[in-house]
Chain A
Amino acid sequence: MSAFGLGHAALAAIVAAASIAVIALYFFKLRRRRVLVASLPLWERLLAPRPSARLFAALRRLLSLLLSLGIALALGAALFDPQPGWLAREPRSTLILIDTGRSMSATDVAPTRLAQAQRLARALVDDRRGADELLVASFDRAPTARTTMTRDDPVLSRAIAALRATGERTDLTAALRFARAALSERPRPELVLISDGNAELDEQEARALARHGVSVRHLLVGRRSHNLAVAQLAARRYPRDRGLAEVFVRVHNGSPHDQNAVLTLLTDGAPTEQERVRLPAGAAVSRVYADVLRSQRTLQARVALADGSADDLPQDDVATLDLPAHAPTRVLCVTRGNRYLEAALLLDEHLLVDTVTPDRYTDARGYDVAIFDAFAPPSPAATASLYLGAAPLPAEGELERPYFEQIESSHPLLRMAALRDVNIARARRLVLADGDRALARAADGSPLMVIGERDGQPFLGLAFDLRASDLPLRVAFPVWLLHAIDYLAGRSDHADVRGTSADAAGPANAASLAPRALPFPRTPPARPAPGQPWPAEPWRWLVAAATAVLCVEWWSYHRRWTV
């Protein structure tokens, strides 16, 4: 026999307190009722003490006390929640990890895969016995614990019912890492993974679970993959004509059969392009649409089955791209004269450029960007600033013939700008302040290109004068210059994309919903063992016994058998 209810000390205290209360109430119950009789001598003759009667009366009262104590002990034993040998086992700690990623919204299982997962999870909660504890967690891009490790079945059920599928991809590796942490040092740890397997698994992480003694079960949900998806949607403006953009769309067929689909491009809700495409099974098809006007606000790509039927996951059939508004950029160019600079500024017809000489410069209010060519204004400009050779940073000497050694090529400023072979005669050895960042450095680490903020306004500075280099002669110069103006003015080519899978790094099989058995032992959905005797938990029998004894004691007391 083992006890899985309250602790021994607590139970002993409860049983002792209950026994004391029962004994106290028993004596309280013995208070006699006063009754008037006409002649006490008549009763006296009958009440003469007889040893046998006294003993019998004492035994009757003792029987009543024993019955009352029996009730208290039965209830105490029920609180103890004893488990007979055939049920006894060490309690289990189970983590129910439920996939709430994008693919769990699929409707190949009615109503959705997530609903099926919730049913399986509830069955696990219903099967919980004794001191077993459960923890419910969900995962998509990251795991989220929904409960603590608990025996409270209603809390577990509510957490399961509250789950909703997100539009995120799933990261099973992070979820397994979470599971390992949650189940560490738990008795008999078990992970029950309820998922369609539509996730990337790090097998090393799976093996780590096994090394930590965690037994894993994968309850597979989902039964097919019949889905088309807009896998990618992107738009970029033409560098030479910012009024137009090029749109890239890729659609993916996640079903095992070739599909005829209709691909539609809509701008501001109105279809502008539509074509029928043949999508091979498991393959993707791309399209590029040129000269799309940037004056539009939204771009939307839709794919649908040509026969008009719905696939299993309608959410990924549409991707929407919000185009940023495009307005001219006002630029103040403070220079003594620089043809290369002025020519580069002419390349973008959406720039409104005013040029002043340094002696006529007052301030840059009203401009989006100020360009200071070899000129350091007396105070930082009240707008974003580009310093060509006069960056507002202190310098510690000069550099002779530096060159770009370390370049942060991934920064938008340096996209498509080849600077490595730029020749520089001399440069200032700049000292960075807190918050400043070097985008390019010389071989000795000295910053050659710096971004930062002064008085709340962003700036970009070169450590050298353009005239002291051949940068203006490079193809990279106008590219870099226009990128710098866009960056400082806050203009972006980046269009926010709304859609379930359309991002730049979308997977090649974004539309695949195929349920995949993960490399864990696979089990069928859990069901209660048939024929299990009721109730499986003895405490209920004890409560029933206590109630029966209570009824017997009540009956015997009122029939004056035990008093």
Chain B
Amino acid sequence: MDLFDEAFQRQLQALSLVARRVASGAMRAERRSKKIGAGTSFADYRTYAPGDDFRRIDWNAYGRLGRLLLRLYEEEEDLSVYILLDTSRSMALGAPPKLDYARQLAAALAYISLVRLDRVHLMAASAEVQVSLRGQRGRQRLLSIFGFLRGLHARGTTDLRAATAKLMAGHKRRGLAILITDLYDPRGFEAGIDELRLRKLETHVIELTCAEDDAPELHGDLELVDAETGQTRAATVTPALLRRYRAEYAARSLRIASYCANKHVGHVRLDTRTPLKDALLQMLRRGALLS
């Protein structure tokens, strides 16, 4: 089944209509920047100096004040959006697999950014494999983004810090970093997030969960196998143990949310059981990620 079939693309178009943002930049993207430049939005006045473009003289102000004043406008600047996908083996779990959900999510976010004329950088990483698709701008780049995402597979273990460090090397522009992951990093989920924060990127974390993560339907004598490392552990899963697991998982989720809140990192938990369209609309309405 093609993740990016016609139905999915129609969903993207519908979502882009919902997402309305202001952009500014040297390439006339639809985001505002704090620079004063040749945009169309009025920013301030300054005294006319010989050599200034006299078309920008505010004659109304001269009539009132008797002074020659220039109108200043905000600079429109394109935004760099860094979308990082966790492609470790743990992302293969779930029905649908979390990686498929993440790919569709990344495609949707990339599409919205492209529509806004943002510059999209896609990166996929596990501890062993890191690939990227850089500098995609304009709607015409959507197909190449689809192609890149189709080629991703769940492989390797999770090392968010190393992966982000490697992928972000060479990227100096500030922008928006969106980390799509299930945060099963044995070294701790904080490392990868901190790596993005330290680069002065506006960081958002989309934590993916599935039924197998928070409410596994397990019973009896089992051999638990770690999806990433392959380590095994014999266990007898009883209803009591399951209750304890769910409590432990909930505590972990709370820790993640608290950490992100403390570090001013945007955090959204998406369950792969939630239809993607509903999840995106929820994020758009909240406005935290895409504003």
- Decide: A40 near B236, CB < 8 A? Known: A33-B223, A46-B245: no
Query: Which residues of the other chain, B, contact A527 by a CB distance below 8 angstroms?
Result: none
Chain B contact residues, majority secondary structure: mixed
Judge if B252 is at the interface, Cβ distance under 8 Å.
yes
B151 at the interface (CB under 8 A from A): no
B226 nearest in chain A by CB position: A40
What is the chain A residue whose CB lies nearest that of B238?
A560
B191 to A: closest C-beta gap in Å: 15
Is A38 at the interface (CB under 8 A from chain B)? Answer: yes
* B184 touching A560, Cβ below 8 Å: no
CB of B233 within 8 A of CB of A47, answer yes
Give how many B residues have a beta carbon under 8 Å from the other chain's beta carbons: 35
C-alpha spacing A41/B228, complex, angstroms: 11
Decide yes or no whether B170 CB sits under 8 A from chain A. Answer: no
When each residue 201-230 of chain B gets 1 if its CB lies under 8 Å from chain A and 0 otherwise, what string results?
000000000001100101111111111110
Task: Please pick, from A33, A39, A45, the residue contacting B184 in the complex, using a CB distance under 8 A.
Answer: A39
Interface pair B90/A35, CB less than 8 Å apart: no
Q: Which residue of B lies closest to A561 (CB)?
A: B238
Given A35-B218, A37-B212, A43:B184 Cβ within 8 A: no
Tell whether A37 pairs with B186 under 8 Å between CB atoms, given A42-B249, A43-B245: no
Complex contacts, A40 vs chain B, CB 8 Å: 224-226, 229, 231, 233
Contact check, A38 vs B213: say whether CB atoms are below 8 A apart. yes
Q: Return the CB mask of A387-428 against B: 1 if under 8 Å, else 0.
A: 000000000000000000000000000000000000000000
Q: How far is the CA of A542 from the CA of B272 in the complex (A)?
A: 53
Contact of B96 with A by CB under 8 A: no
A554 to chain B minimum Cβ distance, whole angstroms, is: 14
- A35 and B221: CB pair below 8 A? no
The docked-state distance in angstroms from the alpha carbon of A34 to that of B233 is 10
Given the interface pairs A46-B241, A46-B245, A46-B248, the reply to whether A35 lies near B229 with Cβ below 8 Å is: no
Min CB distance B3 to A, Å, is 21
**Chain A 346-389 residues near chain B, CB threshold 8 A:** none
CA distance A563 to B238 in the complex (A): 9
Complex contacts, A32 vs chain B, CB 8 Å? 221-223, 234
Contact A560 B186 (CB under 8 A): no
Q: Which of A37, A43, A560 contacts B239 (CB 8 A)?
A: A560
- Closest beta carbon of chain A to B187's beta carbon, Å: 11
User: Judging by beta carbons under 8 Å apart, are B222 and A35 in contact?
Assistant: yes
Encoded as 1 (CB less than 8 Å from any A CB) or 0, chain B from 176 to 190 comes to 000000101010000
Q: State the 6 A-B residue pairs at the shortest beta-carbon distance, nearest first.
A: A40-B226, A38-B90, A32-B223, A39-B184, A32-B221, A36-B227
Residues of B in contact with A (beta carbons under 8 Å apart): 90, 93, 182, 184, 186, 212-213, 216, 218-229, 231-239, 241, 244-245, 248-249, 252
Q: List 30 A-B contacts (CB under 8 A).
A: A31-B221, A32-B234, A34-B232, A35-B218, A35-B222, A35-B225, A36-B93, A36-B226, A36-B227, A37-B93, A37-B226, A38-B90, A38-B93, A38-B182, A38-B184, A38-B213, A38-B227, A39-B90, A39-B184, A40-B229, A43-B245, A45-B248, A46-B245, A57-B236, A560-B219, A560-B220, A560-B237, A560-B238, A563-B221, A563-B236
